[in-house]
Amino acid sequence: MLVQPMDTQHLANFLLLAQVGNMTRTAQRLHLTQPALSGQVARLEQDLGTPLFHRQGRGLVLTRAGEEFRRHAADIVARLDAARAALGTGGDLAGGAIALGGGATATTCLLPTLLGRFHRAHPEVRFSIREAPSRIIAEAVVAGEIDLGVVTMPLPGSALGGRLEVTPWVTDELVLLVPARHALSKQTRFHWRELHNQPLIAFESGSAVRTLLDRALEEHGVQPSVVMELRAIASIANMVANGIGLGFVSRFAREAKRGLRCADGAISRELALVERRDRSRSPTLQKFRDALLEQAPH
């Protein structure tokens, strides 16, 4: 039984702490002292009658009860933000906040230009951005931690769970970056067979792009030598530029101008917007979503 009403800001702070997993860094981001944030968590745990975090060295990991409470807290905060936006704007964008999520291509190559354009028109709207693999983004949307996600399709059935509304957005193509002195550097296209035994700087295992490439390599009977696994597009491009290996990036990446297309057929994927099916959009989110669809890169 709760002894006093919970402060919704404390719930929002708890959600950030659950995401960051470190008391000091979270307190810095919230412009709080560490004892103040620790006290908020202690009061939540006292009110709920159960620990919310396991303390592991310098990090924090949610307990089973903490995971359950996180889902409810995220839903409460999101619904309250939506209610404030709906009641306070009267259809105009007087303010509001939007939590977005996507993979490296979305957060590095696609969203910045669109966000900048939207911000110039609506500087009062606040954004928070999370970069993670598509499966994680979809789960975060379902949990209410993110309002809108950009994911690679298809999603695993377990990630959808019938709770997501999926809207096709952009068709992407992967191109191959090669070092300047590599045998393929004078070509504009490559064949899969040319990658056999070649050093490959790959996206991290389990990511949507890595899964797509692994499937294509297997279908063509090609076994490159994975020498490195990275998440950031710029990191992959820098490693390639320094002669360490070959690497795939999105056609929307700045570095893709010198990339090779696949002569055996385009390596394409569909990016989509995902939202909770049972959650109504605030006027702010609706306006931003409309802008994404109207200004989708081609």
State pLDDT tens for residues 117-156.
Answer: 999 999 988 898 999 889 889 888 888 888 999 999 988 6
Query: Is the predicted pLDDT of residue 2 greater than 50, yes or no?
Result: no
pLDDT tens-digit map of 9-47? 788 889 889 888 889 888 887 777 888 888 889 989 988
Q: Where are the alpha helices (DSSP H) in the chain?
A: 8-20, 23-30, 34-48, 64-89, 104-105, 111-121, 134-142, 157-160, 208-219, 233-241, 283-294
Confidence at residue 282, expressed as pLDDT on a 0 to 100 scale: 84
What is the distance between the alpha carbons of residues 34 and 40, in angstroms, rounded to a whole number?
Answer: 10
pLDDT tens-digit map of 175-192? 999 999 999 999 999 999
Give the chain's domains with CATH numbers.
1-92 (1.10.10.10), 96-298 (3.40.190.290)
Whole-angstrom CA distances from 34 to 2, 19, 23, 28, 38 are 24, 16, 7, 8, 6
What is the distance between the alpha carbons of residues 251 and 269, in angstroms, rounded to a whole number?
Answer: 11
pTM: 0.69
Considering Cα of 217, then 218, then 222, then 227, what sign does the dihedral take?
Answer: positive
Query: Is the predicted pLDDT of residue 88 greater than 60, yes or no?
Result: no
